[in-house]
């Protein structure tokens, strides 16, 4: 539970709103697991791993709140605190897989695509972003598999949502398993498509995570602690979650619509 101090080795600007932070971390972290990162004097927040070469870890962060804004102001050589990894990650299955990511959900999907390539799996990567400038990790994704990019404004790739492109591929390819991370309404649509087609799906949910070990209960979703029981959930559990794709709790635990 005590953060380990480490040094930011590299900061990479991925898009106008996203930066990646590289640092040494001695723990084994699997795709879909997350780390709690502490910015001294500011606070702590959970982040999924986007890259892992066995020595250096990377998290990719969009400016969204107090901790993320503070991270974006940090420089190479600055110190952060890290604890984890926490939660259950993705389980790779099948030979031909589809990955659907929206926004910063591309981070854990990038790491998963890297591992899938090493296991000689055929990867279809469906990536959504608001504009061309916000498309993340394009060159790396194209090295791991087939990229199907979608933008809200049509400035790059297909205009529309990753789920639209995904449905088209299902009419042409035999997909063995599906993995998704991003806006929850998008992931719920992915789940519904996969349920109809009888394709197993794994989704990484996002909730307010404070402790990371299932003690505080801030991240509850249908009685499950997302930090401990997830953040990655498989088809059976997703199908039983009444809050999935519909409700979310605020920082105080009060339910509200997504």
pTM to 2 decimal places? 0.94
Residues 6+ apart with CB under 8 A from 35: 25, 29, 46, 47, 49, 57, 59, 82, 83, 84, 85, 86
Q: What is the pLDDT of residue 252?
A: 66
d(CA 32, CA 99): 12
Q: Give me 257's structure tokens.
A: 């619509």
8 Å CB contact between 74 and 37: no
4, 100, 96, 115: which is closest to 50 by C-alpha? 115
Tokens 């029981």, residue located: 229
165, 157, 32: which is closest to 105 by C-alpha? 32
125, 146, 145, 150: which is closest to 135 by C-alpha? 150
Quickly count: other Cβ atoms within 10 Å of residue 9's Cβ.
15
CA angle 68, 56, 49 (to 5 degrees): 45
pLDDT along the chain (258 residues), means of 10: 92 97 94 96 95 93 94 98 96 97 94 97 96 96 96 92 94 94 95 96 89 81 87 95 83 72
Nearest 10 degrees: CA dihedral of 66, 68, 72, 75?
A: 90
pLDDT tens, position by position, 47-99: 999 999 888 999 999 998 899 999 999 999 999 999 999 999 999 999 999 99
CA-based radius of gyration for the chain: 17
Q: Which domains does the chain have, with CATH numbers?
A: 4-86 (2.40.30.10), 96-257 (3.40.50.80)
d(CA 257, CA 246): 6
Residue count of the chain = 258
pLDDT tens, position by position, 179-202: 999 999 999 999 999 999 999 999
8 Å CB contact between 101 and 183: no
């Amino acid at each position: 539970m005590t953060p380990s101090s480490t040094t930011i080795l590299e900061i990479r600007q991925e898009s106008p709103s996203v930066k990646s932070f590289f640092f040494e971390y001695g723990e084994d972290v699997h795709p879909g697991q997350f780390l709690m990162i502490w910015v001294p004097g500011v606070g702590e927040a959970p982040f999924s791993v986007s890259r892992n070469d066995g020595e250096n870890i990377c998290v990719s962060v969009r400016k969204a709140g107090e901790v993320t804004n503070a991270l974006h102001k940090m420089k190479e050589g600055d110190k952060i605190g890290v604890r984890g990894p926490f939660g259950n990650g993705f389980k790779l299955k099948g030979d031909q897989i589809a990955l659907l990511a929206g926004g910063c959900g591309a981070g854990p999907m990038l790491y998963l695509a890297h591992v899938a390539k090493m296991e000689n799996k055929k990867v279809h990567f469906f990536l959504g972003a608001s504009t061309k400038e916000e498309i993340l990790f394009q060159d790396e994704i194209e090295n791991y598999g087939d990229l199907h990019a979608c933008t809200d404004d049509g400035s790059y790739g297909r205009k529309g949502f990753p789920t639209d492109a995904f449905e088209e591929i299902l009419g042409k390819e035999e997909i063995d398993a599906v993995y998704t991370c991003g806006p929850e309404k998008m992931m719920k649509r992915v789940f519904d498509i996969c349920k109809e087609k009888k394709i197993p799906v794994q989704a990484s949910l996002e909730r307010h995570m404070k402790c990371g070990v299932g003690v505080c209960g801030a991240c509850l979703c249908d009685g499950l602690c997302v930090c401990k029981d997830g953040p990655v959930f498989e088809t059976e559990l997703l199908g039983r979650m009444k809050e999935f794709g519909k409700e979310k709790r605020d920082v105080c635990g009060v339910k509200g619509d997504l």
